[in-house]
Amino acid sequence: MDTSSLLRIQNLHAGYGDVPVLWDIFLKVDRRKIIGLLGGNGAGKTTLLNVISGIISPMKGRVHFLEEDITFSNPTRRVQMGITQIPEGRLLFYGLTVKQNLRLGAFTRKDKASLEKGLDAIFQLFPRLAERKDQLAGTLSGGEQQMCAIGRGLMSRPKLLLIDELSWGLAPLVVDHIMVALKKVYEEMELSMILVEQDVQLGLEFSHRAYVLETGRIVKEGRSEDIIKDPDIRKSYLGI
């Protein structure tokens, strides 16, 4: 048995209603690894993350996390086990303050005593959030909102962080800043990540391994440094 594996997805089919969107997905995330999940619009990246989070039930296949079969576990259970998603479009609680948003990230945590410590760690990571902690999340700039979404996700102390379209709608400089912070998180916390990106270059540079999805199927997988040299990928995704 491979004990370093955190998440294992086998033969997964999923979709909406009767309409399948994902076919025959096999995916593995090892401990302390960053996985890139790449592909164009409508490829099924978000759907796959939502299956992992338990928002969507698969039609077929198995999902294991920490050697436990979680195929039909509810979202609450999965957050408790250590799977946290930072969703596409951030989905902050706009009418609540930054601090309230962050605290809700720790909703399932039992050790409420260490919550303040968690908050401090987030504020250290993103000092901009500390300055705005009592501001409504809906009034933050796009970059600040993404920082708040990441902070909220980290408050649950995840073992596996699913990040959907981190760079979406952000200026390159802001993306760089957030990437530096994420690298720090990765180095300091014992966690793995699945990074969904339309910016294939960014996704490949930041990950150890990557999967490329096209219309619901995995068409390529391997070490990111290999994929970035792959002529097909360079042609269809990097425009080179």
Partner 1 sequence: MLGQVLVNGLLQGGFYACIGVSFSIVFGIMKIINLAQGTQVILGAYITYAASHLLGLDPFFTLPLSIIGLFILGYMIQKYLINLVAKGGLIITSLLTFGLNLILINIALLIWKADFRGTNPWYMGMSFEVAGVTIPYVRLLIFVIAILFTIVLELFFRKTETGNSIRATALNPKAAQLMGIDIGKTYCLTFAISSALGGAMGTLFILAKPISPFTGGDFLIILFSVAILGGLGSIPGALLAGIVLGMVESFSTMFFGIAFQNVVLNLVFILILIFLPTGFMGKRFYG
User: Amino acid letter at 129?
Assistant: L
Q: Does residue 198 belong to the site contacting ligand ATP (CB under 6 A)?
A: yes
User: Do residues 227 and 207 lie in contact, with contact meaning Cβ atoms separated by under 8 Å?
Assistant: no
Partner from ligand ATP, Mg ion, partner 1, none contacting 41, C-beta within 5 to 8 A by type: ligand ATP
| DSSP states of 78-127 | HHHHTEEEE-TT----TTSBHHHHHHHHTTT-S-GGGHHHHHHHHHHH-H
By beta-carbon proximity to ligand ATP, the closer residue of 21 and 122 is 21
Nearer to ligand ATP, 148 or 162 (CB): 162
In the bound complex, what is the minimum distance in angstroms from residue 43's beta carbon to Mg ion? 8
Q: Which amino acid is present at 146? A: Q
Instruction: Identify the H or E element spanning 156.
Output: none
Region binding ligand ATP by CB under 6 A among candidate stretches 38-46, 90-98, 105-113, 179-187: 38-46
Strand partners, 85: 162
User: Binding to partner 1 by residue 92, rule CB under 8 A?
Assistant: yes
Report in angstroms how near the CB of residue 107 gets to partner 1 at its nearest: 5
Judged by the rule CB under 6 A, the positions of this chain that interact with ligand ATP are 16, 21, 39, 41-47, 88, 198
